[in-house]
A and B are shown apart, each in its own frame.
Chain A
Amino acid sequence: MKHRVPILLCAASLAAIALPASASSFAGTSVSSATEGSSDSTSSSSGDDKLVIEAREDAAGFVASDGRIRSARLEAALRVLRERDARMREASDMALAKAVLAR
């Protein structure tokens, strides 16, 4: 006989299903190590730097799709780069996305 699963509402991201070995989340805590090359460097950087690091996969999607896939996080990162550095203001979105990937 099949075990019936009760209907459980929106309890996703329950805390402890994830040991820290996983990319899953617990206690509101994302412990993914799949953010390539950045998990340690994020802890000491400012919010804006962190954003640019976190936007790396978004930038990769943008470059790979030749500009078709643009996420809000990439938009935010591009704006931060332009607001922070006058030289960036003239650069195209594609050039900036590549700059994000080059970091």
Chain B
Amino acid sequence: MGWIRVALAALWFGAASAQAAVSFLVETRDLSPAEQRASGRVLEDALKRLPPAFVEKFERPVRVQWRDDLPANKHGQARRWRISIKRSLLADYDAARAAVLHELAHLHDRNTTPRISRDPRFLDLAGWERAVWRPGRRGRNAFSDRSPDAYERASPREYFAVNLEHYLLDAAYRCRRPDMAAYFDQRFGVKPSPAVSCGDELVFVQGGIANSEPLRRLDPRRIAAVDYLLADGNARPMSAFGHSMLRLVVCAPEREPGDDCRGDLQHHLVLSFRAFVDDLQISGWRGLSGGYPSRLFVLPLSQVIDEYTKVELRGLRSIPLELSRPEIAAIARRTAQRHWNYDGRYRFLTNNCAVETLKLLGEAVPRIAARELSAITPVGLLEKLRNEGLTNEQDIPGDADEAIRQGYRFAPADAYFDDMYAVAKSSLRLAPRDAAGWLALAPSRRTEALRQADLRAAAALLVLESAAVRQQEALALDELKRRYLRRATKRDADDLRQARRWLELAERFSRPAAWLDGVAGYGLPQADELHALERRVEADAIALREGGKALKAALRERLSTPRRDMLESAETNLALIGERLRKLAGEEAPDLD
């Protein structure tokens, strides 16, 4: 018959436990002596790599055939207790070994009940996300960036087989896909070798052109807590339901992780899933149908506070989640995985920020996934988390001012405008009744009061003039948008092109994997990739900053004269009151420098 038995005890890193023996029956009929030797070496090597708990499933000998008649796009296939591998691979040791392990993985999966490739935890980690409106999973796996092998996304079975290959063959697998490696370790009873060290830090590309630090390194052990960060809704239809985010309470470098880290605002990060809109107009239809990418942004908390409370005039609530330290670290790791590998589609109803945030929590923390929560609005998600006892609100002060002081609540800036105006009005002769009336004046009509303000009035007016500039910027933007949507002149078209080019650059900051196109490696980037990344990101961060300035200057020229005059006089006011306040405060304040 020409079958040769290759019976080998599987050895697993010298494990002391009794080894189950797998045996191969190799069909040697058509193999040359050299091919037979190659086959023996490959199979022996493959066997040595199999963990004991994996091998236990092989209660019968596995027949191995090296064949010439497999479909062209396949390296091998597995049927019952038989695997067939492409014969030409015998000339390529690594490929042959990977193919053998891949097919053994399929055999193992088939002989495990229930199959690993159907385990909810496996599917969560692999990226077959839970569907929102129905039981089951989505068909499409959106973890498409930096994949070791695009074939893995063909199906959960292939994902298991491909990943098992890499898990068994690539020492860096546990650094690149730490959560899947930990899952395999646990399934197969493997203790990871201490020889492989992945470093303590996760790396993120921070969004934002004002960032001095586009690459942010984060040691998950430095995170003291994770909060659910909820932006209040406002009247605009697209934000009526609020926005879901997560806040990582990262400790200052010198601080022991604990409650005190809540005050280290300058180190806190916000994880925010947003649609990236690559055009000047939001299309509701594209939003509903998945026309925009959904991206996970990692942002400094300070920037998020300003965007919501000052620019959009929306409040934020920060609700601590009840999580253990290992769960917090798992959230950070999973965030990194999404940051580098996920390229999802934003859908206003089924894949919005609330859905994405909940998925991230569930993937990182199995006990959250097990609750099978479902929420499609940010407030709905908060209610679900609360009902399940997943929030920890006992430390949130009942008193609103105290909650603001401790950073559990961030008030919208306009909550104080009337107070500020009242302070200024009490010492200056001002005509308008309230802050809205004051801000509605042409900037030049406010200037005289700014020159006369005492310290408290100047402080109050600084807040109001800052708001006035933001208001004018929003109006200027609105004018530009209306005009560009009409695309009236050739110059408009040129401006649009410049804006689009700049947006393309901005998009890279929303999809960090793009910087590593053409660089070998998968999953979380490791030292070599980071080295390449660092220079590219810094160069682009500078280009984005400079390009933003240039575009801003160019577009300002396009504003109508009255609109530009209003904006510029508001800015002049702000500079004036800023300088006056600096001088008045300097007369009273202790010297800081």
A32 in contact with B470 (CB, 8 Å): yes
Q: Does B499 contact A (CB under 8 A)?
A: yes
Closest to B284 in A: A6
Contact A99 B310 (CB under 8 A): no
Interface centre among A28, A35, A57, A102 (most CB of B within 10 A): A28
- Give the residue name and chain of the B residue nearest to A14 (CB): B277
B506 and A33 within 8 A (CB): no
- Interface-forming stretch among B81-89, B187-195, B547-555? B547-555
Question: Which residues in window 246-289 of B have CB below 8 A to A?
Answer: 263-267, 272, 274-282, 284-285, 287-288
Q: Taking the nearest CB of chain B, how far is it from the CB of A102, in angstroms?
A: 4
B210 & A15 in contact (Cβ 8 Å cutoff): no
Instruction: Let me know if A102 and B510 touch, CB within 8 A.
Output: no
Interface hit among B10-18, B145-153, B344-352: B344-352
| Given A18-B477, A29-B509, A70-B405, CB of A12 within 8 Å of CB of B263 | no
> In the bound complex, do residue A19 and residue B551 qualify as a contact, i.e. CB atoms below 8 Å apart?
yes
Interface residues in A68-103 by Cβ distance below 8 A to B read 68-73, 75-76, 79-81, 85, 87-88, 91, 95-96, 98-99, 101-103
23 A-B pairs within 8 Å (CB atoms) are namely: A9-B349, A13-B307, A14-B275, A17-B280, A21-B480, A24-B312, A27-B207, A27-B506, A29-B209, A33-B473, A33-B571, A34-B467, A43-B210, A50-B212, A51-B266, A51-B302, A54-B306, A57-B310, A64-B419, A65-B416, A72-B407, A87-B590, A98-B589
Binding site for B on A (CB under 8 A): 5-37, 39, 42-45, 47-48, 50-51, 54, 56-57, 59-66, 68-73, 75-76, 79-81, 85, 87-88, 91, 95-96, 98-99, 101-103
Is the beta-carbon distance between B311 and A23 smaller than 8 angstroms?
A: yes
Name the one of A9, A15, A61 contacting B276, with C-beta atoms under 8 angstroms: A15
**A24-B208 contact in complex given A60-B459, A64-B463, C-beta closer than 8 Å:** no
Residue B376 lies at the interface, judged by CB distance under 8 Å to chain A: yes
Pairwise interchain contact B346-A32, C-beta atoms closer than 8 A: no
Smallest CB-CB A-B distances: 6 pairs: A28-B207, A72-B407, A12-B239, A22-B477, A101-B585, A28-B297
Selected from A12, A48, A60, A69, the residue in CB contact (under 8 A) with B312 is: A12
* Alpha-carbon separation in the docked complex, A23 to B468 (Å): 11
Bound-complex Cα distance A64 to B423 (A) = 7
B166 sits at the interface (CB 8 A): no
Q: How far is the CA of A95 from the CA of B39 in the complex (A)?
A: 80
Q: Let me know if B569 is at the binding interface, CB within 8 A.
A: no
Complex: chain A residue closest to B314, CB-CB: A12
Asked if A103 and B575 make an inter-chain contact with CB atoms under 8 angstroms apart, the answer reads: no
B517 to chain A, nearest CB (A): 19
Select from chain B the residue with minimum beta-carbon distance to A47: B266
Instruction: Flag whether B501 is at the interface (Cβ < 8 A).
Output: no
B26 adjacent to chain A (CB < 8 Å): no
Min C-beta distance of B146 to chain A, whole Å:
20
**Residue B529 lies at the interface, judged by CB distance under 8 Å to chain A:** no
The answer, yes or no, to whether B507 is at the interface (CB within 8 Å) is: yes
With A12-B243, A28-B299 given, is the CB distance from A101 to B510 under 8 Å? no
Chain B residues touching A, range: 35 or more
Q: Which of the residues A15, A59, A96 comes within 8 Å of B277, measured between beta carbons?
A: A15
Residues of B200-214 at the interface with A, using a CB-CB cut-off of 8 Å, are 207-212
**Cβ–Cβ contact A64 & B243, under 8 A:** no
Q: Are A73 and B265 in contact (CB under 8 A)?
A: yes
* Contact residues of B between 348 and 406, Cβ < 8 Å to A: 348-349, 352-354, 376-378, 401, 404-406
Residue among A16, A44, A75 with the most chain B CB within 10 A?
A16
Given A7-B348, A63-B455, A15:B503 Cβ within 8 A: yes
Q: Is the CB of B238 within 8 A of A64?
A: no
CB of B469 within 8 Å of the partner chain: yes
List A contacts of B354 (CB < 8 A): 9-10
Docked Cα-Cα span, A51 to B252, in Å, equals: 12
Contact of B410 with A by CB under 8 A = yes
- Listed in ascending order, the chain B residues whose CB lies under 8 Å from chain A are 207-212, 231, 234, 236-244, 263-267, 272, 274-282, 284-285, 287-288, 292, 297, 299, 302-303, 305-307, 310-312, 314, 346, 348-349, 352-354, 376-378, 401, 404-407, 410-411, 413, 416, 419-420, 423-424, 455-457, 459-460, 462-463, 465-467, 469-470, 473-474, 476-477, 480-481, 499, 502-503, 506-507, 509-510, 544-545, 548-549, 551-552, 555-556, 559, 571, 574-575, 577-579, 581-582, 585-586, 588-592
Tell whether, in the assembled complex, residue B462 and residue A33 are in contact, meaning their CB atoms are under 8 Å apart.
no
Residues of B within 8 A of A31 (CB): 209-210, 548, 552
Taking A10-B243, A11-B348, A15-B275 as given, write out 8 further A-B residue pairs in contact, using a Cβ cutoff of 8 Å, ordered by the A residue number.
Answer: A10-B378, A19-B555, A20-B552, A21-B551, A24-B312, A36-B462, A43-B210, A71-B410
Known A36-B575, A73-B305, A101-B589; judge A9-B353 contact (CB<8 A): yes
- Measured between beta carbons, the chain A residues less than 8 angstroms from B305 are 73
A31 to B549, CA, bound (A): 9
Q: Most chain-A Cβ atoms within 10 A of its Cβ — which of B265, B510, B559, B582?
A: B265
Contact of B582 with A102 in the complex, beta carbons under 8 Å: yes
Q: With contacts A11-B348, A51-B265 known, is A16 near B280, CB below 8 A? A: yes
Contacting residues, chain A, for B278 (C-beta < 8 A): 15-16
CB distance from B256 to the nearest CB of A (A): 14
Residues of B within 8 A of A102 (CB): 582, 585-586, 589, 592
When distances are taken between beta carbons in the complex, the residues of chain A under 8 Å from B411 are 71
| In-complex Cβ contact of B588 among A29, A70, A98 (8 A) | A98
Are A60 and B463 in contact (CB-based, < 8 A)?
Answer: yes
Cross-chain contact A101 with B274 (CB below 8 angstroms): no
Residue of A nearest to B262 (CB): A72
Interface residue from B241, B423, B556, B581 paired with A101 (Cβ < 8 Å): B581
Give, as a whole number of angstroms, the nearest-CB distance from B427 to chain A.
11
Q: Which residues of A contact B510 (CB under 8 A)?
A: 15, 27-28
**Does B476 lie within 8 Å of A22, measured CB to CB?**
yes
